[in-house]
Amino acid sequence: MTARSHPLVALARVRAKPARREDLQDALTALVEPSRAEDGCFDYTPFELLEEPGTFYVRETWADQAALDFHMATPHFQAFAARFEELLAEPIGLIPLREVPTTVTATADPA
């Protein structure tokens, strides 16, 4: 990653077919350790939507597009991809994100 580049951050929305919630959760959980071990992976954390059980979001942060492309070609991701038809109610939705720049300034003591 160069000084001018930024990490690639995304949320992957993954929805289970009816009655496949636990199977999908297990499959997503199995991806965590090998994905986090990949060069260029800064974050790989699955979440489940509280209001909609069976809908998961995976927060992913990669060094760059090449790191994400590598991830998608790994044996562990390809094993998961082979189960898409079995597990997923719809194609994975990838939501790219951009960090909002912030500045931190010291505040005066109100006392």
pLDDT given for residue 104 in this prediction: 74
CA separation, residue 78 to residues 70, 81, 83, 90, 109 (Å): 11, 5, 9, 17, 55
In three-state secondary structure terms, 1 is coil
Question: One-letter amino acid identity for 102?
Answer: T
Whole-prediction pTM value? 0.84
pLDDT of 1 > 80? The answer is: no
CA distances from 53 to 13, 18, 20, 84 (A): 13, 10, 11, 18
- Burial class from Cβ neighbours inside 10 Å (0-12, 13-18, 19+) for residue 12 reads middle
In this predicted model, which residue has the larger pLDDT, 16 or 104? 16
pLDDT band for position 6 (cuts 50, 70, 90) = confident
Interval 94-108 mean pLDDT: 83
Instruction: Identify the structural domains of the chain with CATH numbers, from first to last.
Output: 12-97 (3.30.70.100)
Whether 71 and 31 have beta carbons less than 8 Å apart is answered as no
